[in-house]
Structure 1
Amino acid sequence: MTTAFATSSLRTTLTALAAASLGLGAAHAAPGGDFARGRIVIEAQAGLSDAELDTLVKAHGGKRRKLGQSRMHVVHLAPGLSEEDAVARLSRRPEIRFAELDRKVGPALAVNDPYIGSAWHIGKIGAPGAWDSTQGGGITIAVLDTGVNAAHPDLKDRLVAGFNVYNNTADTSDLCGHGTAVAGAAAASTNNAMGVAGVAGAARIMPVRIAYKDASGGCPAYFSTIASGITYAADHGARIANISFVGIAGSAAVKSAARYMKNKGGLVFISAGNNNVDENVAPDNAFIIVSSTDSQDRKSSFSSWGSFVALAAPGTGIWTTNNSLGYSAWNGTSFASPVAAGAAGLMMAARPDLSAEQVESLLFSTAVDLGTAGRDAVFGHGRVNAAAAVGAALGHAATLDATAPLAAIAAPLGSSSVSGTVAVSVTASDNVGVARVDLKVNGTTVASASAAPYSFTWNSAGVANGMASLVAVAHDAAGNAGASATVAVNVANGSGGTVVAADTAAPVVAINNPVAGAVSGTVAVSIAASDDAGAAGIRTSLSIDGKVVASGTGASLAYSWNTRKAAPGTHTIAASARDAAGNASTRTVSVTVR
């Protein structure tokens, strides 16, 4: 199934709230078309309070329910309200990061073959070689699916407590058999003298039921139940989540939940689909999309592809567990995805100290390159190689990251007047990766964001009128932190606030030397700048023929220009100055190099 979706990715996320379950019983989720009637999915900006969010959704006739400990919410709409209209309206709100329809999606199952008799994929990916080092012990793989049959002899010893996020119960029994087969492909018990072996046969399996049984006997799920299942898995210790459903890679809710899990050290694997077409979905590093291969390392006839594919794995004739407590062979990217997920589980068990990004990178770099050299739209980085991946994980040298992230506040501008709810935008970067950005006001942390864009909603009523100091602090996974320069703003709320007049005057900049005319040898170029708000907030730059050769802060800037390296003829020197309010001015002078 290919799904269209309506999203608006705006600024950032919502402050963490207490854990809550979704509970989306059939009475609340009667489908209309290909999306749920009566509800949508949203994510709010960091710093927005519960009360402010409640006010916002109530204005649209809604009532929210939180997805686990993430920052996403399902908004239940009043009867008769248009879901599309609610998405459109909420998407335009600056307090909302995204709003989207709660699309219905189905399992990525192709053909159920009655008998193949050979688990060829285990040898193809080199799993026995990996098993010499690890079989996945200590790692929990969450299977987000139709449930798992807890009585299956090859699964019962692997299972840990899970959850039914659709019905808000502990019932994770398998409605349609799909989840039991997927669980077996990932982690059916090894060395138990029966049945089949999963790729990570000593890993724990956490069943998370995201689906319901419809009138046709199928077992679809929704964006909301999938996002809720991912956050549940992340909050309850799973390091891997597998979702063998199609049409979800473009969902803003699923992406946000997958980033949430990745920030907690986990990885999310998703099947590419079985439509044998380019799904035309943009790639995203929030999750790992897996296409399917056959025993000859060719694309499975049913497998979808596209630039979003990151990895390939066997998915044709995968001998695994079934809901009748027996075994059968299955086809589909539904089974390629858990095979790849199982390989990642082996890596994490071998080296639990590795980050999610390191495991992902090694999984990609050790894959067997198929098709076009390098990453391609059919096989991604290549077909998974469990033996090589585990070997690379074991041999990976730990490196000490002592480099602090960089942070800067892009908005609001210094010395500007603010009131009410203020949108704060931050840029942050790091040599490895930014794990979190905190916004501090007068030294107190008021909000945190764990994914770019790092933007916040700050209620300025929480501080007294007058000047307030804003600082952004970026953190990386190694514990390094880097603070931005302080941005001072004038808080002017209510009758007691004094609004500072906006600074609209551009700084004055002049080129003191050289003057227009002929130059030669080494020329001492100097510029001077001034501003009504003082020199401290001025940023200057000097360019020659459009190329910046020097920059700095304050009232002056100097540069030694060796004209011997310049071509004879006319050259343009330009000096620019910008103040803290963003006002800018430029002066130029033309000289002739002899």
Structure 2
Amino acid sequence: MINASNLFSLRQTAAALAVASLVLSFGASAQAAQPGEFARGRILIEARAGLSDAELDDLVKAHGGKRRKVGQSRMQIVDLPPGLSEEDVVAKLARRPELKFAELDRKVTVAMAVNDPYIGSAWHIGKIGAPTAWDSTQGSGITIAVLDTGVNVAHPDLKDRIVPGFNVQDNNTDTSDLCGHGTAVAGTAAASTNNALGVAGIAGAAKIMPIRIVFKDAAGACQAYFSTIASGITYAADHGARVANVSFVGIAGSSAVKSASNYMKSKGGLVFISAGNNNVDENVVPDTAFIIVSSTDSYDAKSSFSSWGSFVSLAAPGTGIWTTNNALGYSAWNGTSFASPVAAGVAGLMMASRPDLSSAQVESLLFKTAVDLGAAGRDPVFGYGRVNAAAAVSAARAFVSTVDTTAPTASIAAPLGSSTVSGSVPVSVNALDNVGVARVELKVNGTVVATDSAAPYSFSWNSAGSPNGMAALVAVAYDAAGNAGASSTVSVNVANVTTSVPSDTIAPSVNITNPVAGAVNGTVAVSVSATDNAGAAGIRTSLSIDGVLKASGSGGSLSYSWNTKKERAGTHTVSVTARDAAGNASTKSVAVTVN
């Protein structure tokens, strides 16, 4: 058991002697990105489940674009040739039924108010009941990804917490801190506890995964883009982080950031985002993809700088937060930049105390145990309330999972029954569950052709993979407990132009759309597409992992949900074989690493 009083007395004395005169200049010099600023020459899109790489290539090539896949997700960064209007391309692609979204790659900045040179006490630790929570857990076994300006891994209060990260902006492993902000955020979340140095992070035994998402502009300020943030979240999810913190403003409305956050949530993780420091209603539509955190002061009042709005999920201390800095010392900082990692650290404590809890369960308990401030219930200033580490960890430890026997419900909203279809067909599915929908599979004539793990559940079905005539579409929704609910069958008339091939000696072309070579984590949606000169309707595909058959079906698409948690850590080979009606066959394989 930790003696919190003695611990903080030691830490405060040591820090005060070391850095009493330290004043950082970053907060005053940082310039906020203007609302209209976006990256030139690139945009962001996400394909609907089931769209093949070839079909996606055709979409982006029509605009002279070249796509880059973001990790193991379906999101894509599209590089455009010079001279094209990014706004025009986005407007055109946003209307394509094969895509979930298309958006500009907007520039954003860190959510920090000017830092306070006063070395105050770590008041926020006691305010949220962290010492009581530490009697049960300090975050061991959990990795918190810090998506920021980098982290100074040489800091004595952070060096033992670091695991390998990545520099998304420069596509390398240099995660050193460009502007100092990331080091302060990292220390707030997980500076080492009980080491007789400096400060204590909320989850001081958790690991920190530094992910640098910024560049320095001409004025010396650190800026990021939607694309680097979404890529960083996806990287964190693919590499085993359970918590990600993004202390940047203006990102809660980004479709790309929402998609990446939902992707991490599907892996059992949670993403925390700062509300902003504009002291206004940000007027952003709330979303369940991430947890938006506003800032409170030592009196449990809204911090003077904190933004608010219906999108706020939670509040946490963000005024005068004593934490690590890039000069290897300590100082107090203000901003929702620091409220967000306080809340993220509490989630890390909960996950460490009960690793079996799902992200939805952790989130629910985090909200239920918050100290209700302001108007009763959820309100635009404090969300569900100010985070309470002691109550949250206690609730997590005491949580008894009830056996969930209620199956989800699913219905196909489009296409309509008896309609005639051809080519790529957009399929929309409505799915609901008493706890939460984990994924939705689309079956065509009994074969799973695509899987979607985030609402709105939508697919792009290549009807050329089915013979002309009536095809049966069924959507199956699954919850985390494995309960499944199937929709009613929707029968449609497939009417594609066919050509005869008198003598077929050409093997089908087959491709594994997902995963790509690299790290995988949690449940992986394995997606396969195949084409043939005689038509995809005659193709039979079989999917194997390490030589063991996992799924098979007919047509040009095949999907399989692979639970990598049941696999040994290390390299695994995913292989698919496509065979046409004439017996010609081809095989494609990809090697992935399970964390």
Match in the other structure for 1:15: none
Contact 1:292/1:332 (8 A) holds in 2: yes
Equivalent AA in structure 1 for residue 61 of structure 2: K
- Rounded Cα–Cα distance in structure 1 between residues aligned with 2:36 and 2:357: 43
- Rounded Cα–Cα distance in structure 2 between residues aligned with 1:413 and 1:181: 54
Contact 1:471/1:484 (8 A) holds in 2: yes
Match in the other structure for 1:171: 174
Displacement after TM superposition at 1:409 (Å): 2.0
- Rounded Cα–Cα distance in structure 1 between residues aligned with 2:480 and 2:268: 10
Match in the other structure for 1:14: none
Equivalent AA in structure 2 for residue 102 of structure 1: D
1:501-512 alignment runs, 5 A limit:
none
Match in the other structure for 1:43: 46
Contact 1:38/1:76 (8 A) holds in 2: yes
Match in the other structure for 2:442: 439
Match of 1:64 among 63, 67, 73: 67
Match in the other structure for 1:462: 465
Equivalent AA in structure 1 for residue 52 of structure 2: S
Displacement after TM superposition at 1:464 (Å): 1.9
Match of 1:425 among 425, 428, 442: 428
Match in the other structure for 1:215: 218
Report SS of the residue matched to 1:190: coil
Match in the other structure for 1:452: 455
Q: Does 1:248 align with 2:251?
A: yes
- Rounded Cα–Cα distance in structure 2 between residues aligned with 1:413 and 1:81: 37
1:24-423 alignment runs, 5 A limit:
34-423=37-426
Report SS of the residue matched to 2:365: helix
Equivalent AA in structure 2 for residue 196 of structure 1: V
Displacement after TM superposition at 1:495 (Å): 4.8
Contact 1:115/1:329 (8 A) holds in 2: yes
* Higher mean displacement: 31-40 or 45-54: 31-40
- Rounded Cα–Cα distance in structure 1 between residues aligned with 2:328 and 2:414: 59
1:472-528 residue CA offsets vs partner (Å, 9 max, x unmatched): 11111111112222222222211579xxxxxxxxxxxxxxxxxxxxxxxxxxxxxxx
Q: Over aligned residue pairs, what C-alpha RMSD do you find?
A: 1.5
Unmatched 5+ stretches in structure 1: 1-29, 498-594
1:309-351 residue CA offsets vs partner (Å, 9 max, x unmatched): 1111111110000001111111110000000100111011111
TM-score (norm 2): 0.77
Moved over 3 A (4+): 30-33
- Rounded Cα–Cα distance in structure 1 between residues aligned with 2:35 and 2:488: 51
Displacement after TM superposition at 1:431 (Å): 1.5
Contact 1:40/1:100 (8 A) holds in 2: yes
Contact 1:31/1:37 (8 A) holds in 2: no
TM-score (norm 1): 0.77
Displacement after TM superposition at 1:32 (Å): 11
Q: How has the CA–CA distance of structure 1 residues 148 and 403 changed in structure 2, closer, same or farther, with 3 Å as cutoff?
A: same
Contact 2:150/2:175 (8 A) holds in 1: yes
Contact 1:136/1:349 (8 A) holds in 2: yes
- Rounded Cα–Cα distance in structure 2 between residues aligned with 1:84 and 1:413: 33
Identical aligned residues as a percent:
81
Q: How has the CA–CA distance of structure 1 residues 31 and 212 changed in structure 2, closer, same or farther, with 3 Å as cutoff?
A: farther
Unmatched 5+ stretches in structure 2: 1-32, 501-595
Equivalent AA in structure 2 for residue 315 of structure 1: G
Equivalent AA in structure 2 for residue 60 of structure 1: H
* Higher mean displacement: 229-238 or 366-375: 366-375
1:33-64 residue CA offsets vs partner (Å, 9 max, x unmatched): 61111111111111110010011001011111
- Rounded Cα–Cα distance in structure 1 between residues aligned with 2:435 and 2:283: 29
1:108-133 residue CA offsets vs partner (Å, 9 max, x unmatched): 11011122231111011100000000
- Rounded Cα–Cα distance in structure 2 between residues aligned with 1:495 and 1:150: 61
- Rounded Cα–Cα distance in structure 2 between residues aligned with 1:481 and 1:245: 38
Contact 1:36/1:103 (8 A) holds in 2: yes
Aligned residues: 468
- Rounded Cα–Cα distance in structure 1 between residues aligned with 2:201 and 2:275: 21
1:349-399 residue CA offsets vs partner (Å, 9 max, x unmatched): 111111111111111111111112221111111111100110111111111
Contact 1:39/1:74 (8 A) holds in 2: yes
- Rounded Cα–Cα distance in structure 2 between residues aligned with 1:461 and 1:301: 59
* Higher mean displacement: 238-247 or 365-374: 365-374
Match in the other structure for 1:477: 480
1:536-555 alignment runs, 5 A limit:
none
1:283-319 residue CA offsets vs partner (Å, 9 max, x unmatched): 1111111111111111111111111111111111100
Report SS of the residue matched to 2:340: helix
Match in the other structure for 1:505: none
Match in the other structure for 2:493: 490
Q: Which has the larger radius of gyration?
A: 1
Match in the other structure for 2:26: none
- Rounded Cα–Cα distance in structure 2 between residues aligned with 1:156 and 1:125: 25
Report SS of the residue matched to 1:51: helix
- Rounded Cα–Cα distance in structure 1 between residues aligned with 2:37 and 2:499: 52
Contact 2:199/2:324 (8 A) holds in 1: yes
Contact 1:435/1:476 (8 A) holds in 2: yes
Equivalent AA in structure 2 for residue 443 of structure 1: G
